[in-house]
Amino acid sequence: MKKKNWFWNLVILLTVVGCIFAFALHYKNWSKFEEGNFQVASGIYKQRIPIIEIDKVTWLNKLPAMQRMNGFSWLAKEKGVFVDSLTQTKVYVFVDDLRQPKLRITHQDSLLLYLNLADSIETQEIYEKLTLALEQKD
């Protein structure tokens, strides 16, 4: 009679469930406008930017050279906190599809955030809302 090792089966099951849960949390970016703030989140990575602190929103086709502080890349996704190789400043990246254009959001004069969603129409809507808010701010 073989002894069943339930402990290792439980460890394997919890590891698989944890990996699936982490993948589901980071699978896509979530964004919303709330109370004068623009918020974007993907799993453990979150940013809340007061709209009055946003200086500029532009389109970008390719991300600049950066070093990863923490985060991950998987297929066409890029998420996390990076350091710009030229300016040595902290950059937040929430990119669901590297092949599509990205928004470059500059706030507080130097902090950068790169963003796009899997649905390019939703990314376009964010751009339009932010540019409208910037026009009203001035």
pTM equals 0.80
The predicted pLDDT at position 91 comes to: 93
What is the C-alpha radius of gyration for the chain, rounded to an integer number of angstroms?
Answer: 19
Chain segment 34-48, per-residue pLDDT in tens: 988 999 998 888 999
Provide the b/e sequence for 56-90 (b: ≥16 CB within 10 Å): ebeeeeeeeebeeeebeeeeebbbbebeeeeeeee
Residue type, 132: L
Chain segment 47-92, per-residue pLDDT in tens: 999 999 999 999 999 998 899 999 888 888 889 999 988 888 899 9
Q: Are 91 and 105 in contact (CB under 8 A)?
A: no
